[in-house]
A = this chain, B = another copy of it.
């Protein structure tokens, strides 16, 4: 099995007008994606922001739930947040993955705007199963990852769609769905093949 990593980038991302911005760190993103990551076997979940004050704030949240009263109050939250790491940018994140996994990761990106995916979710499932390289899946906050980041990816995953063209999922939900698609227990997915 390949080691699986997830990163949530707060820079560089687009705002609603297409400008490249740094977005704020949202507490609910940390908690929800950490819980999904812990459920689906993600080894580390990176909160990536160049803003030192926001990394410090996130670090205080992690310490609150990781030790002392918070850890006693909510054990499942502590277990989830143990996979969270704080990094400054994508390059630092890649270095940390390489240091942890012993090899540089393949970069995968997902975007609601993806028009020409280069890998399917089944393909990603096979990459995990075959385990040749560690895998780092990138998510963007705000209105999504910039073209510059997308251009660095080894693979583009398909956009998640339902009945029509509306696909404005929260990044928290999108991360959960994608992890379920590639790491969810197989029995139920197999049953869905009718």
- Contacting residue for A76 out of B38, B40, B166, B192, CB 8 A: B166
For A168, give the chain B residue with the smallest CB separation.
Answer: B76
A151 at the interface (CB under 8 A from B): no
Main secondary structure of the interface of A (DSSP, over half): helix
Q: Which residues on B sit within 8 Å (CB–CB) of A38?
A: 166, 168
How many copies the complex holds: the figure is 2
Q: Which residues on B sit within 8 Å (CB–CB) of A188?
A: 120-122, 158, 181
Q: Is the CB of A181 within 8 A of B183?
A: no
Residue numbers of A with Cβ under 8 A of B are 16, 28, 31-32, 35-36, 38-41, 74, 76-77, 79-80, 120-123, 125-126, 158, 160-164, 166-170, 172-177, 179-185, 187-194
